[in-house]
Amino acid sequence: MDILEKIVIDKRKEVDSVKSIIPVSQLENSVLFSRETISLANALKNSNSGIIAEHKRRSPSKSIINNSLNVQDVATGYEKAGVCGMSVLTDGKYFGGALNDLLLARASAKIPLLRKEFIIDEYQILEAKAHGADVILLIAAILTKQEIKQFSEFAKSLQLDVLLEVHNEEELHKSIMPSLDMLGVNNRNLKTFEVSLETSKTLSALIPNDFVKVSESGISSVDAIKTLQPYGYKGFLIGENFMKTNNPGESATHFINNLV
């Protein structure tokens, strides 16, 4: 069983238990549920840098990245740096995140926020909206074509942007549909954890231009971005590179200044 399958089994149990405690009506009545969302896709289209900076404490491939920073400081720093959006990992068991991180980021910054999560239930999309997210992530590797359609259309009905992540050609072919805003190519092989930008290069030609193209994982240099821009990529998700420093906002600032 690969790591993704393990995560999904745990996630189903987690979502079932939370659903039994917090009813949908409570999520829909939350203060943030009715706020107007900000489009990450539009921000990327109009940006020279395309940086989506991530808040991530740890990961299965790298164990602890940074446990000592608070989310408010990271969000404020990223906003000051001029990133297009912020990705907030909300999985607890494998990434050390929490939904509360999303609330704190929302209270600290006015940039588009992506809930980075393993979404396997519509309930999690309601949670995202209720906690201040503007965008959800759907992962093609863990969803059927029907689920991608159902979840993306549901997210759009809540005025949320949808970023769909693929790892290979097969996942891409089952995923292309009008209810997506952005198509993300994850350069990490989930079985070996090896990272290669060739994945983004190869798949770029197969992504229709109606979607904003985003490259994820293994982007740790300005050169990597300059290599991918000619392939039509407008968004670049960067996590560990900023988070492994003492001041992610400052690192993001230097990075963006060198890029543009």
Cα 17 to Cα 31: distance, rounded to the nearest angstrom: 23
One of 54, 79, 127, 171 is an active-site residue; which one? Answer: 54
* Count of beta carbons in the 10 Å neighbourhood of residue 201: 17
217 assigned to active site: yes
One of 79, 127, 165, 240 is an active-site residue; which one? Answer: 165
Q: Are 159 and 140 in contact (CB under 8 A)?
A: no
One of 11, 56, 213, 234 is an active-site residue; which one? Answer: 56
Q: Facing residues of 64 across strands?
A: 58
One of 186, 200, 215, 251 is an active-site residue; which one? Answer: 186
56 assigned to active site: yes
Pairing of strands 58-59, 63-64: antiparallel
Residue with tokens 């607890």: 92
Q: Facing residues of 221 across strands?
A: none
How open is the CA angle 144-208-36, to the nearest 5 degrees?
Answer: 75
116 assigned to active site: yes
One of 79, 117, 171, 216 is an active-site residue; which one? Answer: 216
One of 116, 129, 213, 234 is an active-site residue; which one? Answer: 116
Cα 120 to Cα 256: distance, rounded to the nearest angstrom: 34
258 assigned to active site: no
Cα 161 to Cα 36: distance, rounded to the nearest angstrom: 12
One of 87, 175, 187, 217 is an active-site residue; which one? Answer: 217
54 assigned to active site: yes
How open is the CA angle 184-189-193, to the nearest 5 degrees?
Answer: 120
Helix (H, G, I), strand (E, B) or coil at 2: coil
DSSP E strand boundaries for 96-199: 113-116, 135-139, 161-166, 182-186
189 assigned to active site: no
145 assigned to active site: no
* Catalytic residue annotation: 54, 56, 116, 165, 186, 216-217
